[in-house]
A and B are shown apart, each in its own frame.
Chain A
């Protein structure tokens, strides 16, 4: 039985529906990601789980209990805010100890647990600093520690890394994942960065306009997008409409055909292999370890990625080539 289940969740603000028919279930100890473009309702769902917004309809259950209308204080769900939301009048120790104080723990226990978690998030030496005396990454770790120390049943993180620079992001990303594994915490992580989602999560929920577009293990969502939206959002998929697909490949489909750029093989123009397409190189871009070509084939421009092994690998613009695409690498999407 799943630990957290959400059934038919709806949320309406005034007259526009922000979340509709949202369903999900996650297991204890799982790390899942909500991935989606800005404004698709990620924060709203998170806030409903935490209890800051009341759903218009639907149900949220944790461990079998219906918590849809429980007050946030009683839910035992930890939240890390995008803007940190550290209390400016308290230093690091006081901020982290606040939740324990609210639970009426005694002083010695608070001190012990706070010290423990401070070590866990590597903030030793900063105990008496106030939020305005910390860097962005340090503040975010205080926010994380503050949510962790009360041992929440579920931890919610709303784009916790988006305000940080790339290097600290990567670092904290690993740190968060590491702590989550060690504590076995059920965690929902919100992001609109697909790389972040791919590297961190057990499972990804791709969201679009208030509903789940696709859910699945990270590599599945990446390699087998179910819809055009997911294909566009997850990678640089080539997307062919039904007419182009028919003309180029002789296949009849509904919707779109999605082909990843690295799954198209480039052969030289005299290749005798069957089932290949003629193409002309229109443009190339050097992207470090790969070269990205724009290849025109029968009036359709395809993106093709090739490994950049030696300097002689680069094919000049205008080169005639043949393209081979395996059936297995073509995905029909809605």
Chain B
């Protein structure tokens, strides 16, 4: 590099150029990862999205999207939405209460780590084995069903209940939704500082005032965001529902599964549209989750 004094003015520019070239070399460090993500995550998804707007010959069409609004498909989305929303709302409410009880309930210290470990297990205990477990519990021959019939003289299935129904599926989903909520809301509850409660008390606020004016407003974004994450989690789940109900329950993931297997529909591009619909739903709720989480973090001192 030149050493004349007036070249000092150009120095920064030279550095930028050098910086750029090392930057492009540095990109190589993440290239394998980006390539992998492109091949096995982004391109496959993108090709479906494009396919959703094409007919069998590859011409642009909105026909597939329009078919999503057929009654049978719309109702599948609706049932999926209901099950996901119910298990997400129930899961986040119960999970929140459990986490609060374990962390702030004044219970013995061993409760909390036990709950956390168990939540780690149960939130991953989804899928087929979970459906087996619930069939053994609440199925026609399940333990609870039999016990209720023999000892409480209560015919569960006589009430119209079925493990294959909306209620049964929601109860089953809660088994992994509640622990997931416990895991993701715990850091937020830990963020509640005891001094806030004490400051509130010394200013004359009751326990209810503390929850209403301070704790809940602070936790609110986290709770809502977690609920959205739970929703997306349930919306995309295939295995549990499939093992539980076979193809008998008309929810979107199962519809799509059957479509891919070629059991029911034979319209590839409609399948792409179904997939697109799922991504839109889960994408929106995840975007909501990320937005709310960043809000929750910003508010903290």
**Bind each other:** yes
| A130 touches B (CB below 8 Å) | yes
One of B199, B204, B214, B301 near A132 (C-beta < 8 A): B301
| A230 touches B (CB below 8 Å) | no
One of A71, A83, A150 near B203 (C-beta < 8 A): A150
Question: Which residues in chain A, 146-179, are within 8 Å of chain B measured between CB atoms?
Answer: 146-147, 150
Contact status of A99 and B204, CB under 8 A, knowing A50-B198, A85-B193: yes
Q: Considering only CB atoms and an 8 Å cut-off, how many residues of chain A contact the other chain?
A: 32
A89 touches B206 (CB 8 A): no
| A183 touches B (CB below 8 Å) | no
B195 touches A81 (CB 8 A): yes
CB distance from B215 to the nearest CB of A (A): 9
Compute how far the CA of A319 lies from the CA of B29 in the bound complex, rounded to whole angstroms.
69
- Interface segment out of the listed A72-80, A282-290, A298-306: A72-80
| A210 touches B (CB below 8 Å) | no
B298 touches A79 (CB 8 A): no
A132 touches B198 (CB 8 A): no
Question: Which residues in chain B, 176-229, are within 8 Å of chain A measured between CB atoms?
Answer: 193, 195-196, 198-206, 209, 213-214, 217-218
A78 touches B299 (CB 8 A): no
A87 touches B201 (CB 8 A): no
Compute how far the CA of A146 lies from the CA of B62 in the bound complex, rounded to whole angstroms.
60
B213 touches A72 (CB 8 A): no
Contact status of A81 and B199, CB under 8 A, knowing A102-B205, A102-B209, A150-B204: yes
Interface string of A80-114 (1 = CB under 8 A from B): 01011111111000000011011100000000000
Of all chain B residues, which has the CB nearest A75?
Answer: B202
B-chain residues with CB within 8 Å of residue A85 when the two chains form the complex: 193, 195-196, 198-199
Compute how far the CA of A72 lies from the CA of B203 in the bound complex, rounded to whole angstroms.
8
B-chain residues with CB within 8 Å of residue A98 when the two chains form the complex: 200, 203, 205, 213
One of A73, A90, A132 near B206 (C-beta < 8 A): A73
A88 touches B300 (CB 8 A): yes
Compute how far the CA of A86 lies from the CA of B203 in the bound complex, rounded to whole angstroms.
12
Compute how far the CA of A52 lies from the CA of B203 in the bound complex, rounded to whole angstroms.
13
B-chain residues with CB within 8 Å of residue A132 when the two chains form the complex: 298-301
B-chain residues with CB within 8 Å of residue A87 when the two chains form the complex: 196, 199-200, 213-214, 218
A83 touches B195 (CB 8 A): yes
B218 touches A88 (CB 8 A): yes
B-chain residues with CB within 8 Å of residue A147 when the two chains form the complex: 202-203
A-chain residues with CB within 8 Å of residue B206 when the two chains form the complex: 73, 102
A-chain residues with CB within 8 Å of residue B199 when the two chains form the complex: 79, 81, 85, 87, 146
B202 touches A50 (CB 8 A): yes
CB distance from A92 to the nearest CB of B (A): 14
Interface string of B270-301 (1 = CB under 8 A from A): 00000000000000000000000000001111
Contact status of A77 and B202, CB under 8 A, knowing A88-B301, A132-B298, A132-B300: yes
B-chain residues with CB within 8 Å of residue A41 when the two chains form the complex: none
B-chain residues with CB within 8 Å of residue A103 when the two chains form the complex: 204
B213 touches A88 (CB 8 A): no
CB distance from A124 to the nearest CB of B (A): 22
CB distance from A217 to the nearest CB of B (A): 29
One of B195, B205, B217 near A89 (C-beta < 8 A): B217
A89 touches B200 (CB 8 A): no
| A51 touches B (CB below 8 Å) | yes
One of B195, B203, B209, B217 near A146 (C-beta < 8 A): B203
| A55 touches B (CB below 8 Å) | no
Contact status of A78 and B202, CB under 8 A, knowing A83-B195, A85-B193, A87-B214: yes
| A36 touches B (CB below 8 Å) | no
One of A81, A102, A131 near B204 (C-beta < 8 A): A102
Compute how far the CA of A193 lies from the CA of B5 in the bound complex, rounded to whole angstroms.
54
Of all chain A residues, which has the CB nearest B204?
Answer: A102
Contact status of A51 and B202, CB under 8 A, knowing A87-B196, A87-B214, A89-B218: yes
A-chain residues with CB within 8 Å of residue B209 when the two chains form the complex: 102
Of all chain A residues, which has the CB nearest B216?
Answer: A89
CB distance from A60 to the nearest CB of B (A): 15
CB distance from A22 to the nearest CB of B (A): 20
Compute how far the CA of A51 lies from the CA of B205 in the bound complex, rounded to whole angstroms.
13
B195 touches A73 (CB 8 A): no
Of all chain B residues, which has the CB nearest A79?
Answer: B202
B203 touches A88 (CB 8 A): no
CB distance from A139 to the nearest CB of B (A): 8
Compute how far the CA of A132 lies from the CA of B218 in the bound complex, rounded to whole angstroms.
14
22 examples of A-B residue contacts, CB within 8 angstroms: A52-B202, A72-B198, A72-B202, A73-B202, A73-B205, A78-B202, A81-B195, A81-B198, A85-B198, A87-B199, A87-B213, A89-B214, A89-B217, A99-B204, A99-B205, A101-B213, A102-B204, A102-B209, A132-B299, A132-B300, A146-B203, A150-B204
Nearest 4 A/B pairs, CB to CB:
A99-B203, A85-B195, A72-B201, A102-B204
With A99-B205, A101-B213 given, can you name 15 additional A-B contacts, CB distance below 8 Å? A51-B202, A71-B201, A77-B202, A81-B199, A83-B193, A85-B193, A85-B196, A85-B199, A86-B301, A88-B301, A90-B214, A98-B200, A102-B209, A147-B203, A150-B203
